[in-house]
Amino acid sequence: MTDSNQQNSNSIVLKTHDLTKIYLMGEVEVPALKSVSLEFIEHELTVLLGTSGSGKSTLLNIIGGLDTATSGDFFYRNENLTNADENTLTEYRRKTVGFVFQFYNLIPSLTALENVELVTDIALNPLMPKDALALVGLSERQHHFPSQLSGGEQQRVAIARAIAKQPELLLCDEPTGALDFNTGKVVLEVIERINKELGATTVLITHNASISQMADRVVKLRSGEVIEKTHNTTKISPSELTW
Amino acid sequence: MPLSVLHKKLLREALHLKGQLIAVALVVACGVMVFVSMSSVKESLVRSKDQYYSNYRFADVFLQVKRAPAYYRERVKAIPGVASLSTRLVYDVSLDIEGLDEPATGQFVSLPPNDGPILNDLFIRDGRRLSPTAHDEIIVSEAFAEANALEVGDEIHAILNGRKEAFRIVGIGLSPEYIYEVQSGAFFADNKRFGVFWVSQKALEAAFNMSGSFNNLVLTLTHDAVEAEVIRRLDDLFKPYGSLGAYGRSEHVSHQFISDEIKQFASMITVVPSIFLGVAIFLLNIILRRLVSTQRDIIAILKAFGYSNWQVGLHYLGFSLFPIALGGVLGTLLGAWGGAGLTDYYTIYFHFPSLDYVFRFNDAIMSVSLSALAAGFGSLSAVKQAIKLPPAEAMRPESPATFKAFWLEKLGLKHWVTVPWRIIVRNLERRWWKSTLSAIMIGFAVSIMISGRYMYDAMDHMMWVEFDLKHHEDLTLVFTEPLPKSVLYELQNLNGIRQVELVRTEPVRLRYKQRSRRMGITGLNPNSDLRPLIDSKLRLVPVPNSGLLLTTKLAEIIGAKPGDTLTVSFLHGQQRTHQVILSATIDEMFGLAAYMQKSLLDDLSGSKGAANSAILTIDYAQKDSLYAAFKDMPSVTGSIFLKAMKERFSDDITQSMIVTTTILTFFACTIAFAVVYNGARISLSERGRELASLRVLGLRKQEISVILLGEQAILTAFGIPIGFLLGTGLSAMMPAAYDSEIFRMPFILSSENFFFAFIVIVMVAIASGWIINQRLAHLDLIEVLKTRE
Average pLDDT over residues B248-263: 91
Are B700 and A94 inside 8 Å of each other by CB? yes
Helix (H, G, I), strand (E, B) or coil at B138: strand
Average pLDDT over residues B291-298: 88
User: In the 8-state DSSP scheme, what is residue B243?
Assistant: -
- Say if A154 is an interface residue toward chain B (CB within 8 Å): no
**Whether the Cβ atoms of residue B480 and residue B635 lie closer than 8 Å to each other:** yes
- Say if A93 is an interface residue toward chain B (CB within 8 Å): yes
Least confident of A135-144, B15-24, B190-199, B778-787: B778-787
Can you give the pLDDT at residue B571? 87
Q: Is the pLDDT of residue B788 over 60?
A: no
Are B698 and A93 inside 8 Å of each other by CB? yes
Confidence of residue B745 (pLDDT cuts 50, 70, 90): confident
Are B694 and A97 inside 8 Å of each other by CB? no
Residues of A in contact with B420 (CB under 8 A): 118
**Whether the Cβ atoms of residue A38 and residue A60 lie closer than 8 Å to each other:** no
Cα distances (angstroms) measured from residue A32 to each of A56, A69, A224, B111, B269: 9, 10, 5, 99, 63
Q: Which residue of B has its CA nearest to A102?
A: B785
The alpha carbon of residue B267 and the mean position of all alpha carbons in its chain are separated, in whole angstroms, by: 10
Identify the burial level of B114 via C-beta atoms within 10 angstroms of its C-beta, where 0-12 means exposed, 13-18 middle and 19 or more buried.
exposed
Can you give the pLDDT at residue A1? 40
Average pLDDT over residues B133-161: 93
pLDDT digits (tens, 9 = 90+) for B11-43: 999 999 999 999 999 999 999 999 999 999 999
- A226 lies in a domain? yes
Q: How many CB atoms lie within 10 A of CB A29?
A: 10
Helix (H, G, I), strand (E, B) or coil at B179: coil
Nearest to A101 among B423, B700, B785 (CB): B785
- A26 lies in a domain? yes
Residue B717 identity (one-letter amino acid) = A
Q: CB-based contacts of B499: which residues, under 8 Å, 6+ apart? A: B473, B529, B530, B616, B617
Average pLDDT over residues B579-606: 92
pLDDT digits (tens, 9 = 90+) for B693-706: 999 988 998 899 99
- Say if A147 is an interface residue toward chain B (CB within 8 Å): yes
Question: Interhelix angle for B701-737 vs B253-294, to 10°?
Answer: 150
Domain residues for the domain of A177 are 12-240
Are B695 and A103 inside 8 Å of each other by CB? no
The domain that holds A34 is classified in CATH as 3.40.50.300
Can you give the pLDDT at residue B403? 81
Least confident of A103-107, A124-128, B473-477, B605-609: B605-609
Can you give the pLDDT at residue B559? 95
pLDDT digits (tens, 9 = 90+) for B353-374: 988 898 988 988 988 898 899 8
Mutate to test the interface with B, among A60, A89, A94, A105 (most CBs of B within 10 A): A105
Question: CA nearest B524: which of B504, B539, B549?
Answer: B504
Residues of B in contact with A207 (CB under 8 A): none
Domain residues for the domain of B511 are 471-648
Residues of B in contact with A64 (CB under 8 A): 696
Nearest to A122 among B400, B696, B698 (CB): B698
Can you give the pLDDT at residue B132? 86
Q: Is the pLDDT of residue B208 over 90?
A: yes
Distance between CA atoms of residues B637 and B616, nearest Å: 16
Identify the burial level of B690 via C-beta atoms within 10 angstroms of its C-beta, where 0-12 means exposed, 13-18 middle and 19 or more buried.
buried
Q: Is the pLDDT of residue B474 over 50?
A: yes
Query: Would you give the end-to-end CA distance of chain A in angstroms?
Result: 22
From the CA of B392, how many Å to the nearest CA of chain A?
21
Are A57 and B786 inside 8 Å of each other by CB? yes
Out of B173, B207, B241, a domain closes at: B207
Confidence of residue B686 (pLDDT cuts 50, 70, 90): confident
Residues of B in contact with A109 (CB under 8 A): 401, 403, 422-423, 426-427, 430
> DSSP states of B650-672 as a string?
HHHHHHHHHHHHHHHHHHHHHHH
From the CA of B703, how many Å to the nearest CA of chain A?
10
- B541 lies in a domain? yes
Confidence of residue B398 (pLDDT cuts 50, 70, 90): low
Residues of B in contact with A48 (CB under 8 A): none
Number of domains, chain B = 2
Confidence of residue A2 (pLDDT cuts 50, 70, 90): very low
Average pLDDT over residues A204-218: 94
- Say if A97 is an interface residue toward chain B (CB within 8 Å): yes
The alpha carbon of residue B220 and the mean position of all alpha carbons in its chain are separated, in whole angstroms, by: 30
Are B422 and A109 inside 8 Å of each other by CB? yes
pLDDT > 90 in chain A, percent: 64
Can you give the pLDDT at residue B1? 54
Q: Is the pLDDT of residue B108 over 90?
A: yes
Can you give the pLDDT at residue A3? 44
Number of domains, chain A = 1
pLDDT digits (tens, 9 = 90+) for B619-642: 989 988 888 888 888 888 888 888
pLDDT > 70 in chain B, percent: 97
Cα distances (angstroms) measured from residue B552 to each of A81, B596, B675: 82, 15, 44
Are B423 and A110 inside 8 Å of each other by CB? yes
Q: Which residue of A has its CA nearest to B424?
A: A109
Confidence of residue B395 (pLDDT cuts 50, 70, 90): low
H/E/C letters for each residue in A205-232?
A: EECCHHHHHHCCEEEEEECCEEEEEEEC
- A5 lies in a domain? no
Average model confidence (pLDDT) for chain A? 90
- B259 lies in a domain? no
- A77 lies in a domain? yes
Residues of B in contact with A67 (CB under 8 A): 781-782
Q: Which residue of A has its CA nearest to B689?
A: A105
Distance between CA atoms of residues B436 and B442, nearest Å: 10
Mutate to test the interface with B, among A57, A93, A107, A155 (most CBs of B within 10 A): A107
What is the Cβ-side half-sphere exposure of residue B100, based on CA atoms within 13 angstroms? 24
Distance between CA atoms of residues B5 and B15, nearest Å: 15
Supply the pTM of this predicted model: 0.84
Can you give the pLDDT at residue B783? 76
Average pLDDT over residues B685-691: 87
- B444 lies in a domain? no
- A179 lies in a domain? yes
Can you give the pLDDT at residue B223? 95
Distance between CA atoms of residues B588 and A109, nearest Å: 58
Nearest to B788 among A97, A103, A107 (CB): A103
Question: CA nearest A47: which of A232, A241, A222, A218?
Answer: A218
Are A64 and B696 inside 8 Å of each other by CB? yes
- A1 lies in a domain? no
Which positions in chain B have a beta carbon within 8 angstroms of at least one beta carbon in chain A?
Answer: 400-405, 418-420, 422-423, 426-427, 430, 689-690, 693-701, 703, 781-782, 784-788
Mutate to test the interface with A, among B403, B697, B708 (most CBs of A within 10 A): B697
**Whether the Cβ atoms of residue B491 and residue B614 lie closer than 8 Å to each other:** yes
Out of B185, B207, B229, a domain closes at: B207
Q: Which residue of A has its CA nearest to B780?
A: A66
Question: Interhelix angle for B642-696 vs B321-346, to 10°?
Answer: 160
Mutate to test the interface with B, among A57, A109, A115, A206 (most CBs of B within 10 A): A109
Taking the alpha carbons of B755, B757, B759, B761 in that order, is the dihedral positive or negative?
Answer: negative
Nearest to A109 among B403, B695, B697 (CB): B403
Q: Which residue of A has its CA nearest to B687?
A: A107
- A3 lies in a domain? no
**Whether the Cβ atoms of residue B119 and residue B94 lie closer than 8 Å to each other:** no
- B351 lies in a domain? no
Q: Is the pLDDT of residue B393 over 60?
A: yes
- Say if A89 is an interface residue toward chain B (CB within 8 Å): no
When comparing pLDDT for B657 and B708, which is higher? B708
Distance between CA atoms of residues B520 and B505, nearest Å: 6
Distance between CA atoms of residues B168 and A129, nearest Å: 98
Can you give the pLDDT at residue B269? 85
> DSSP states of chain A as a string?
-B--S---SSPEEEEEEEEEEEEEETTEEEEEEEEEEEEEETT-EEEEE--TTSSHHHHHHHHTTSS--SEEEEEETTEE-TT--HHHHHHHHHHHEEEE-TT----TTS-HHHHHHHHHTT-SSPPPHHHHHHHTT-GGGTT--GGGS-HHHHHHHHHHHHHTT--SEEEEESTTTTS-HHHHHHHHHHHHHHHHHH--EEEEEES-GGGGGG-SEEEEEETTEEEEEEE-SS---GGG---
**Whether the Cβ atoms of residue A10 and residue A200 lie closer than 8 Å to each other:** no
Can you give the pLDDT at residue B229? 95
Q: How many CB atoms lie within 10 A of CB B694?
A: 25
Distance between CA atoms of residues B227 and B223, nearest Å: 10
Q: Is the pLDDT of residue B405 over 80?
A: no
Average pLDDT over residues B434-455: 92
Q: Which residue of B has its CA nearest to A94?
A: B698
Q: CB-based contacts of B218: which residues, under 8 Å, 6+ apart? A: B59, B61, B62, B63, B85, B86, B88, B119, B120, B177
Average pLDDT over residues B744-762: 93
Question: CA nearest B443: which of B181, B85, B726?
Answer: B726
Cα distances (angstroms) measured from residue B517 to each of B231, B544, B593: 11, 21, 11
Question: CA nearest A231: which of A38, A14, A89, A71?
Answer: A38
Out of B603, B618, B648, a domain closes at: B648
- Say if A68 is an interface residue toward chain B (CB within 8 Å): no
Can you give the pLDDT at residue B394? 65
Q: CB-based contacts of B83: which residues, under 8 Å, 6+ apart? A: B219, B220, B221, B222, B225
**Whether the Cβ atoms of residue A203 and residue A53 lie closer than 8 Å to each other:** no
From the CA of B718, how many Å to the nearest CA of chain A?
21
Average pLDDT over residues A11-33: 91
Can you give the pLDDT at residue A8? 47
pLDDT > 90 in chain B, percent: 53
**Whether the Cβ atoms of residue B288 and residue B379 lie closer than 8 Å to each other:** yes
β-strand partners of B84: B220
Q: Is the pLDDT of residue B77 over 70?
A: yes
Nearest to B419 among A61, A64, A117 (CB): A117
Confidence of residue B500 (pLDDT cuts 50, 70, 90): very high
Distance between CA atoms of residues A110 and A145, nearest Å: 6
Distance between CA atoms of residues A15 and A201, nearest Å: 13
- A195 lies in a domain? yes
Are B785 and A66 inside 8 Å of each other by CB? yes
Q: Which residue of A has its CA nearest to B426?
A: A109
Distance between CA atoms of residues B470 and B502, nearest Å: 16
Q: Is the pLDDT of residue B295 over 70?
A: yes
**Whether the Cβ atoms of residue A48 and residue A172 lie closer than 8 Å to each other:** no
- Please count the residue pairs, one from chain A and one from chain B, whose beta carbons lie less than 8 angstroms apart: 95
- B112 lies in a domain? yes
Are B701 and A90 inside 8 Å of each other by CB? yes
Least confident of B449-463, B600-614, B634-648: B634-648
**Rounded to 10 degrees, what is the CA torsion of B253, B255, B260, B266?**
180
Distance between CA atoms of residues B659 and B180, nearest Å: 22
Q: Is the pLDDT of residue B339 over 80?
A: yes
Distance between CA atoms of residues B743 and B187, nearest Å: 9
Q: Is the pLDDT of residue A9 over 60?
A: no
